[in-house]
Amino acid sequence: MLLNQRSIGDMRASGPTLNLGELRIGTLRDAQELMPRLEQAHETVIEERNHIAAFQQRLEFSADTSDSIIAQMKSSEADIRDTDLVRATSDLTRSQIMSEVAASIAVEADVDIERILSLLQ
């Protein structure tokens, strides 16, 4: 979201905003007549500088916010990876237990079949 799309003004003394390129101060009267124009140019420069500073602050805030979001995303990714690892370990342990139980049942079944066969003979 762009809060202010105003571009940076031309702050050259000879530029159209300040228009100070053709000033001539030959007498005290010339200097006195130019004072309001110079004061206005000074105010214009200060306003532009404040505009640039505010824009810089918004950029820094946006950069800080982006850094924070990236850090949170990395933390979330690590949590997800940890959860996936725990799930995989749990599945492996369950499979190992099931294999051991199946092997135990198979051994028991073989022993029982051998007992039945021996009784039949």
Find out whether 9 and 17 touch, Cβ atoms under 8 Å. Answer: yes
The alpha carbons of the chain give a radius of gyration, in whole angstroms, of: 41
- The span from the CA of 95 to the CA of 98, in Å, is 5
Q: What is the pLDDT, as a whole number, of residue 104?
A: 85
Q: What is the pLDDT, as a whole number, of residue 1?
A: 45
Comparing CA positions, the residue from 49, 8, 13 lying closest to residue 34 is 13
Find out whether 14 and 21 touch, Cβ atoms under 8 Å. Answer: yes
pTM of the model: 0.57
Q: What is the pLDDT, as a whole number, of residue 5?
A: 65
**In this model, does residue 2 exceed pLDDT 70?**
no
- The tens digit of pLDDT for each residue in 18-35 reads 888 888 888 899 889 899
- The span from the CA of 38 to the CA of 18, in Å, is 9
- The tens digit of pLDDT for each residue in 35-52 reads 999 999 999 999 999 999
Choose between 58 and 102: higher pLDDT.
Answer: 58
**In this model, does residue 62 exceed pLDDT 80?**
yes
- The tens digit of pLDDT for each residue in 70-121 reads 999 999 999 898 888 888 999 999 999 998 888 888 888 777 777 777 777 6
CB-based burial, 61-81: b 16+ in 10 Å, e otherwise: eeeeeeeeeeeeeeeeeeeee
